[in-house]
Every structure is written in C-alpha cells, then in structure tokens.
A and B are shown apart, each in its own frame.
Chain A
C-alpha cells in the first residue's frame, strides 16, 4: 500500500528461466572507467554472468530503456554463481576486480575493455586473474581489509557447515569452524573493530575478532587446513540475542553518523553498535525481502531501503518511514549506483533491484501515482424516458406486492418448468421395505411404493426432490437429486412410505417438492401433495363391543354396508354382515370399531382412545360422500352431527399434551440449574488446580462427578419426555381434527367458516418453536371471541398479550368451550377481509415480521386518530469486515440526531398533563380491566356427560 510507485529509469530481463537470489547482483565501477560510473554485475544460479552499463536515451516519451549495447559482457562460467562482489582483490593492481563465488570455487576476474574494437564503443572481455578451489560447499563470502591492511580487500568464505576460510587475495590464510554452526547466516566484516559479525542458528548476533580466528589456527597446508574436521573452539567476542533469524547484515560507515551493524530479521530490523549494544529496532507488519542502508543525510540518521514481499519499496530514516513506492516485483537484491545519465551528467542514487526471475530494474523515487486505478464503472447512455417508465413499472409491481397484506405469497407461476407426476398404486408393496422402525407390531408394517416422475419442459440441471412425510410416517429416501433433466426424458424414481413411529398419524399426506433453477436462472420450487391410503397405517382386527369413547354421525340416506365402502380393510370380518368393522393403527393397541346402524341412518365410531378415531372418521366421511355422489349430479347427501361435542374427551388429550410441555419446561430448568452448578464446581476446581500450593479438593471432584451424572439422567428424562410429547402432540392434532370436523357437521359450517375455525383451532401441533400450541390457540380463540363473536362492544378490545407458556389450561378450556357455546348459539365465524388461504397464517408463529400477532387482520378503529409518531431513527450499524487489514465502515449515519431536535418529537414534554391523563384513563383502563372472558358466560357444554344417542343401534355381532 503506497501512494506512489518507483519510477522506471532503465530495466531489462536478465536471462531466460534463470534463478537469482540475494548476492547475485553487485554494482561497481568494474571496468575502472575514469568517469567512475557503476556497472551492474548479475550472476545467475545457472552459471551466466552478465555485466550491464545502463545508458538510457532520453526521448520525448521518457527514457527509452534497454538497448542491446548496454550489455557489456555475457558469459557462461559453467557453475552456479552464488555471489558476486567488486573489490580490490588483486595484490599487484589497484583497480576494481570481480570476485565470483561458485559452490566449490572462488574466482577473481578482471574486466578488460578494448576501446574502438566494435562499432558502438568498447569491446569487453572477462579475464580470470586467479581462482581458489574450495573443499567445502560455499555459502557466501564477505570482503574487506581484514587486519587493517590498507587498500587491499581480503576474502572470507563461509561454507554451508559454518566454516570460514580466509584468503588474503591470491593466498590462502586459514580456516576455522565457527562454534555451534548449523545453518550459516549472513556474514559481514566490521573494519573498525576488525571482526566478523554473523547470525548463528541460535538467533544470536555474534562477533568474532579476526585476530582470534587467525591465532587459533594451526599451521597447516591449504588443503589440510581446508579439510579440517576439528579445531580449537573460538569464543565470540560478544553475542546479542535477536527475536528472529537474520536475512541480511550490513555494516554502515557514513560520515555523519556512527558506525553501526544493520541486521534485517524476518520481522524486524535491528541497528546494533559495533560492541554489541542494541541501538534501535523496528518491528514490521510485513515480510521484508532485502534491505540496504545507503546513506546518512541528516546528522545521526541513517537512511535505509527495505523491499518487501508485498512489492513495496520503503525508505526509512532510522525508524521513521519517509517514502514508500510500489514496485512491479519482489526484489531479492538491492543496490544503489551512479550511472551515466547523458553525455555529460551522471545520475546518482539510482536504485537497482533484481528479482528472483531476473527482472533487473533501475528506478528512482518520484511522485508517479500508484499504478492501481479503480476500473471506471460502466457508463451508458441513459435514456431517461425509458428509465422513468421502467422505474414506474417496478414501483407499481412493488406497490402491488406491498398492498397484499399477507406476507409474500408466491403466486402459482404458470410457467413451472417441472411437472411432478406421482402415481400412487392401489396396492401395498408385496414385500414391505419398511426399515428403521420404532414400532413393534406382530404384523409386518406395510409399505407403499410411489412412483415419482419429473417432466421438464426445458433442459434443467441439478434438480433436487425432497420427499417429506409427516411423522409418524416416513419415507425410505428424503432427498433425491437429478443431475440433469431433458424435456423428453422424464426423471423417474421410486419412494416408499411406511409408518415409522408409534403414534397416531394426523394426516395421511406426503409432500414432494422439487427445487431447481429455471432456465432464466431464478430459483423455483414445485410442490406436489399426495394422499396415502388408509391401509398404510391401519389394519383390520375383530371389532370390540364395548368402548369408552363413541362418536355418532347422522346422515340423510339409508345406511350402507360397510363392506362396500371399506373393501380393502375387512380383515377377518370380510364375510360378515357389514355393519361392524374393527381397525387398529399399527403399533398402537386401541381398537377402533366402526358400526353402521341397520335401522337408522347412523354410523358410530367407538374406541378406548379418543384421538385414534380421527383417521377413520375422516376417511369414513370422505368415503360416504364419494359413495353417495356416485351417479348423482347434485348431491343432497348430508352428514350431520347431533350430539353434544366431545369436549371433555378432547380436554383430556389436551391436558396430556400440556403436561408433557410443562414437564419439558421443568426439565430444561433443572438442566440449566445443574449446568450452572457444574460450571461453578468446575471453576472452583480450576482455581484449586491452578494454585501453586496444592490444597485438598474438599470433595469437589465427587460433587462434579455427581452433578455430571445428574445432568446425564436429566438429559435422558428429557429425551423420554420428548418422545411422550411427540405422541401427545400427534394425539392432540388428531383430536383437534376430530373436534373441528364435528363442529362443522354439527353447525353445518360453510367452507369459509370452517377455514377460519381451522386456522384458529389449529391442527398442526408443532412444539419445536418457542411458542407452543396452547398459547397460539388461546390467543387466536381469544381474538375470535373478542372480535367476530363478541357479545357486546365492550368485549371488542384487541390487546394481544405476549405468547408465553400458559400456567394451566383452565382458561384455554374455558375459551374453547365458550367458542363452542357461542357457535352453538348461532354465532357466525366471519372475519372482515379474511380470505381463506391454503396455509393458515397462525401456523407460522416464528415469522420475524410478526413475532407475536396471532391474527394480523384485525383492525381497530382507534388507530385512525394517531398521528404518525416522530421518533428517533436508529443511527447505528455494525461494522463487520472480517479480515484484519481492512478498514471498516463508520457505518451508519446519524439521521435524526441532535441537529434536528424537531425530529425527536414531543414525547412527554409537549403534551399537557390532562391530555395525558385522559388518554391514559381511556385506554390504560382497558388494558387493566379487560373483562375476563370467563365471566361472559358459563360454559354449559363442558361438564355435561356425553349423551349416548344411538341406543337403538342393533349390533351385528
């Protein structure tokens, strides 16, 4: 990240597919030219040595860059070049020579120029002056006037195993082991103290006196000495521990600042005095790649270039960042040189950088902006009339959507691209495929295999089909994927349904949903509902004469032989007279007996379990209706229910479910307490264990163990209870279905009224959310009682109470009884503006839009007098950038804050006291003194015993 980029002065690509690293480049006046300009020497790991003399020609568009003449020399040395260095390496001459380090060889070359030999100037030639063979693999070398010799540069080569060999120009001096060497570090010579500094593997900056190294040497021949395996242990003059491993070392000696050792670590740069005292350090939040202290401009301040792996060049003055420039590469080597700019002038301070791929660049700092500019967003010719029209159209569509009060109901799109065709075979599977059953039955639980075929209109990919069968039913597959569908090849699959859990099925329906992306890319859903046959869940048994619960329905047609309408469920009574059949749900014990009166037009269901009659009741009603409709155009067939509603029985089922819920609540409270206790003990134990002086545990471990077992037991109990609750919920759902249908038959409700009834006394008992069935039903029935079924205007206050778990069911029972009573007295279930929808709104209590509104269609006259209330708008928002180096949004604006006090609105102060009181008196009272519904009329039905009205029924047993 930087504002500017380094300006390119001259650049070229060195070699082709060659590797370079630190040390592969040096800058110096190698041809000893009189002008003193520097040449760039680049050696690659592939053994090529190239020498450049950048002389860019100024043109109108800036500098021209690389020209072939800039290469002074290019030669292959047949061995990898690890390091190149310029210096006075030859004893007999004063000039600059080039030292090249190969893994097993050190060579010193002289660059000879023959002027005028070729057209464009001088001809250059590399000439070997001398070379040293090395016995060990070299790592790097440093040069300097060791021992204080003036005007001559000696060489010190460090090998991979940490041996240093010193060569006094053409002659070998000595070799020494550095102690504790593992991997060699960068090495540098400090002229002032006549010592070498290096960073060892133990992350210590170590300084060794040249004298000490030299003296400790045994006098041997060059070969012997190089082969040495052991030697005297030399002691470091001083050591300084660093935080991290060093990448590079430089020793600075500039005129107006003290001599210092600069060490570049992996995450820090250190400046150390030559006696091993840490002078400064700077921590980086990036990874440096190489560095170069190059000058001291101000007194006591050393300037240093640091290149980073984020392709930035940073110039620090001591530790203050003074300049940052972007580069095109990650440099591995940096130099600063003086080059010929034009005929007469020289350019000083050119930054020469080389990256590992061989991009060689000479650059200078300038205020060129960084190269990244945001891509301009697409500019189109705007046709405002067209835009306006489109805007209007979209606004209209949005408004239409919004005006629909119901939460967005997807309109059944005509262009469903998939058609689900489900064929339900009339017969059950010959061999049941039911698996993972939770019920035990002496007979094998049957299964039904359904064929699903998907017809696509166009080519679709990745179609997923979900099969959902409400518990206790289950399917052997729940998710089927089709990788692709072709229009003429419908995708086909088979799914088996079977009864899995041991409780009552409240509905015999299964949903098959296909999700796919339409050809236009929009996600689409197609749903299909199938009805499963009764015989999947019910088996025929012998009828039983007596039963606790009975339901009798009347018709206006002569009775039918039950054998005719339940042909598939006759069982052993197949040959019977057809007026009594017995059924049993798989996995349950209670037998349901169905009786048809021979004389009167009545049918009776009886069972020991009230709820279990529902599957048969619903089926009986359907089958009777379809039986009598056959062959008749207008159906005058009618089923009625005479007797009083079986509320008492219903309430028993209800109480059972509620008890389970109370238990669940109790268990979770207990569990919470135990968990808190567990954590408290844990915390105490933790402090005990942390204590330096061990203290007795005081039986806390026993307590922890005990609590843990309690938690496990509670969790088991909860699980048990959950299963019981599931059974109770199924029973309640069935019972509610029964009750709803009986009410319908009893009062002959229209479809609309029945739909309102069903959406108040809801049949889906879902205990997963925060709100349970009881409170939802209580709220919606209370709402009905206060709105369309209210006796007087006094009752008509709508003030929804929060949906909390009821304390007991007395009130709920009273309300249900009251509802039945009012219906019995002729009240109509009519709600203004209510249209029956397929899914009752109250079944979605967890919609975020309406968290606690059981019925959103209420309308209060009172609302009209309210003016819009000015309020403070929210002014906040989170910031949530997830990475560390991103700034976040100062999010949020400050709409409606102090600048505009009028927006706050007169909340308390602007209103007169009397006004406040008056309003509080009218509505506030209403809150506190809502007439309790229980006072409105005593339920008469509830306590009456069920009248048995079909005594004259003749049993055919």
Chain B
C-alpha cells in the first residue's frame, strides 16, 4: 500500500502522530517530496490547532498600552469597559459581579474573566492564583506555551527552519503556501514570519484571494494592529462572504471596544448566513458583556432554535433565569444539560441551588453530595460556600459556619466566605473576629460591596465613625445604587456636619 496514501488516510482519521511518522519516513527517503512535506505540516498544525476566533486573552501589555480606545470615558451602553446599567439585568445585589464589573456569566469562555484594571500597578498586584481574574502576563501567554509544547514533541528540533525558509518562493505557490502559513501561524507561533508569507502570497495572487486577506488580518490582530486587521477583513468580505471573516471582524471591533459596531457587523453576517449559530452566539456574548440581559437571552434563545445542543446557550439562559428569581425554569435548563451528558461539579452545584430555591428540598442535598464528590480543588470551596448558603436558608447557623470554614479550608482566598463568616461572628457578638473577617474579605476582593458595607455598618455601631464613613464610601463606589450604603453615608455626613 502506498505510504503516502496511508498517511493521508491517517490524517483524515485525525491520527496525526501516525501520519507524521509516515511522512517523516517518506521525507527521509526523498526530502523533496512536496506532498509528504505538505501533509506533515498539516498534521503538525492540526495537533495544536485552536480556532483563532476563540482565542481571546488580553495580556497586561494590551490592557495597559491600549492606544486604540476612542474615548477614555465612553457613554454608557457603548463600551465594554464601562458595562453600565444594562436593560433587563438584575442589580448587582442579586446577580454578583466579576472583578471586571460584569455580571457573572453562565459559561466560562476566554475573556470573560479578564479584567480591565485601571493601572498597571493594580493589574500587577492582583494576586497570582488560579482563582482570580488576573490577566495573563503577556499577549503570548498561551501562544508561547503552545510553541514550546510543539518543540518538545519533535526531538530533532523543529520540522521547518523558518529562518532559512525562502518566503518569496513559497508565497508564489498557492497549494503549498496555505498549509505552510497555518503551520507557521498555529504551530510555530511566529506571527511575523507568517505575516511575511501572507503578504507575499496575497501579492502573488494579485490580491484576488480573500483567504490571504483574512490571514493577513489575523496576523495584524495578533500584532495589535487592529485598524489594519479591520481593513483586511473588510476587503476580504467584499470578495467573498464567509462566516469566519465576520467573526474575525467582530473580534476586532470588540477589541477596539466598539460593541455596537460589532453587533452591527454580526447582524450583517446574519443577513447573509441566516440563522448561523456562531454569529448569534457572538451577538449574545457582546450583549452579555454590556450587561444587556434581555437581548442576551433573546439571542441565546435564537441560538437554541438553530442548535438545540448548544451548552453555552443553555447554561447562560439557565443562569439568567436563576438570577431573575425563576429557579424552577433554571432547573429545567440545567436538567437538560444533565440529560445531554454534562456531568461535573458546577452543574450539580447549580442544580442543588435551583432545587433549594425551587423548594425541592429533597433533591438539594443529593445534588450537593454529588457536586462534592466530583469537586476538584478548584471548585470545592464554591460548593461548600453554597452549602453554607443553603444552611443559612434553613437557619442552621452552625452548619453554615462550618461550611464557610470548609470553603476557606479549600480556598484560602475565598472572599465571599470571609464576608459571611464575618456576619455570622457578628451575630454571635464577637466583633473583633467579624471585623477581622470583613477586613480580610474586602482586602481580597475590593470589587464586592458587601464586606465594605458590613464593615461600615459594624464600625458605625461601635462608634468608629471614621472607618465607617470610609468603608461606606468604598461600598458605594463598588455598587453605586446600594441604598443602605447611601443611607449610611448620608446619616454619617449629617452627623459630621453637626459636629
């Protein structure tokens, strides 16, 4: 049997290692076998391929040295940096915020946890644990790792020595160049060389191939040249409508902090590709980032019309219903996920909470039991924290206290558990302890308003009005619509004025 045929067959069956092995043997025999060479680049690329649309981690450098934003202080509802008060979203008091000031999402994607810190110092000081939303150290956190991993897998050194590659020669050969480009871009992570190749190739085909324009745009995007990327994508769209091009273009707009334009482009794409789920999901994600929950849910529902197996859509709608006080409906969505075969801690935890709030008490404990049995170190603390909440709900303060302590045992930085322990201690009258808990909580998570407010309220009671005032101010900074903090502040102001 022809080895090249077999290698090609392995490639089709995604058995890349065997494919690479066969190709290497072929290349050993005949180093100029272009077909084997091309197949090997493709197999190596596929091994590490991640859809570029999904890669969206912003590094510190991008966040800080962002010179693309149009307005520093954007109008509410036009920027992802200031999520603003969206329509139909429950308040922060009901649906918790992430560190970046966006409501918690029902589905973790790259980018949902990234922050937009104000200063470099703030960004750097964010503790380096897996539990925080600290941005990755540089744009290439993930890329570098991919690059080195691929080096490891080939002990004889890299397959293609990029430095010695004659770019103009390859860029004139379209049937080789495309695989080679993907290899350089995805496997070697050498964006600059990839850009060289792409610009040569697009010239070689007289700017007639939209594919090369999209690749140029991808390179520009990686290099942070968003306006150039936008130009390339738009030019590519003029030649040929493709779903991917729309997605890339919207990604550029999101990075440029123009969510409304992004939605506009998504909608253009939808006119061409009616009902394309990835475009619909994109719109929903943008709206979620802008805290516009009614639109988010609307578009996620549209996604489900097209693709009723979309886990992201089901999870996000479920979360929305949970936080808008319809745990029974949320329960239906999560049960659907369970039936579809999702089987993890998060799901059982969510099911447990939904059951509890939907008053199906018999299921609550079973769900949490399962959640605990499936939990890893990362999410164990969250499960215990939620059990603590259930215990508070049934008035078992001892169990609540112990649960929160257990949450802390598995994650020492669990600010919410600190806060709730503080409240429990306060109920017991141990002010010193509760004060310490509150302090620990707001030091760990300054974006939460609860510990600030609790601390303010406690300091007010013991007469430490100065601390109370400061803490209340921090609380209303974190959550500007919190009535209790406002009342406390105004009464303190009145009091100070009287003095």
Contact = CB atoms under 8 A, between A and B. Distances in A.
A401 to B, nearest CB: 10
B93 interface: yes
Contact of A278 (B120, B211, B240): B240
Contact of A374 (B65, B343, B346, B378): B343
B292 to A, nearest CB: 18
A892 B241 CA distance: 43
Interface in B347-379: 347, 349-350, 353, 356-357, 366, 369-370, 373, 378-379
Contact of A874 (B106, B113, B416): B416
A282 B431 CA distance: 61
Nearest to A19: B9
A160 B419 contact: no
Interface string A871-908: 11111111111111111111111110110000011011
Interface in A561-597: none
A878 B314 contact: no
Chain A, interface size category, equals 35 or more
B242 A281 contact: yes
A917 B463 CA distance: 11
A897 B450 contact: no
A112 B137 CA distance: 71
A880 B113 CA distance: 9
A283 B392 contact: no
B458 A869 contact: yes
Interface in B314-337: 314-315, 318-319, 322-323, 330, 334, 336-337
A398 B495 CA distance: 44
A319 interface: yes
Nearest to A923: B463
B386 A893 contact: yes
B14 A309 contact: yes
B108 A879 contact: yes
Contacts of A923: 462-464
A398 B399 CA distance: 11
B484 interface: yes
Contacts of B451: 874
A377 B382 contact: no
A874 B420 contact: yes
A287 interface: yes
B13 A82 contact: no
Nearest to A204: B174
B65 A686 contact: yes
B315 A887 contact: yes
A102 to B, nearest CB: 9
Given A281-B273, A287-B14, A922-B463, A851 B443 contact: yes
B393 interface: yes
B14 A21 contact: no
B382 A880 contact: yes
A372 B431 CA distance: 51
B235 interface: no
Nearest to A922: B463
Contact of A3 (B12, B109, B339): B339
A377 B436 contact: no
Interface stretch (B33-41, B77-85, B147-155, B192-200): B33-41
Interface in A844-872: 848-853, 856, 858, 862-863, 866, 868-869, 871-872
Contact of B373 (A82, A139, A202, A377): A377
A873 B108 contact: no
A873 B418 CA distance: 11
B65 A926 contact: no
A842 to B, nearest CB: 15
A437 interface: no
Interface residues of B, number: 146
A862 B432 CA distance: 13
Interface stretch (B157-165, B260-268, B283-291, B485-493): B485-493
B136 interface: no
Nearest to B2: A137
Contacts of B338: 374
A319 B307 CA distance: 9
A1 interface: yes
Contact of A879 (B104, B276, B398, B495): B104
Interface stretch (B138-146, B250-258, B293-301, B421-429): B421-429
Contacts of A716: none
A280 interface: yes
A863 B431 contact: yes
A363 B429 CA distance: 68
A690 interface: yes
B179 interface: yes
Given A285-B278, A320-B275, A908-B490, A884 B108 contact: yes
A828 interface: no
A679 B124 CA distance: 14
B1 A103 contact: yes
Contact of B276 (A2, A203, A282, A871): A282
Given A1-B340, A137-B5, A868-B426, A356 B105 contact: no
Interface string A665-686: 0000000100010010011001
A927 B386 contact: no
Given A1-B341, A241-B209, A895 B393 contact: yes
B44 to A, nearest CB: 14
A478 to B, nearest CB: 25
A-B pairs, top 10 by smallest CB distance, nearest first, are A923-B463, A876-B96, A887-B315, A201-B175, A202-B174, A908-B491, A874-B450, A874-B419, A893-B389, A890-B319
16 contacts: A3-B336, A183-B35, A202-B174, A203-B211, A243-B244, A285-B278, A868-B429, A875-B93, A879-B382, A880-B378, A886-B107, A886-B108, A889-B350, A890-B350, A893-B386, A909-B487
Interface of B: 1-2, 4-6, 8-9, 12-14, 34-35, 38-39, 42, 46, 51, 54, 64-65, 67, 93-94, 96-98, 104-110, 113, 120-121, 130-131, 174-179, 209-211, 225, 240-244, 247, 273, 275-278, 305-309, 311-312, 314-315, 318-319, 322-323, 330, 334, 336-344, 346-347, 349-350, 353, 356-357, 366, 369-370, 373, 378-379, 382, 385-386, 389-390, 392-393, 398, 402, 412, 416, 418-420, 423, 426-429, 431-433, 436-437, 439-441, 443, 448, 450-451, 453-454, 457-458, 460-466, 484, 487-488, 490-491, 495, 498-499
Given A280-B273, A370-B340, A924-B463, 7 more contacts: A139-B5, A321-B307, A370-B341, A679-B64, A849-B437, A887-B312, A927-B464
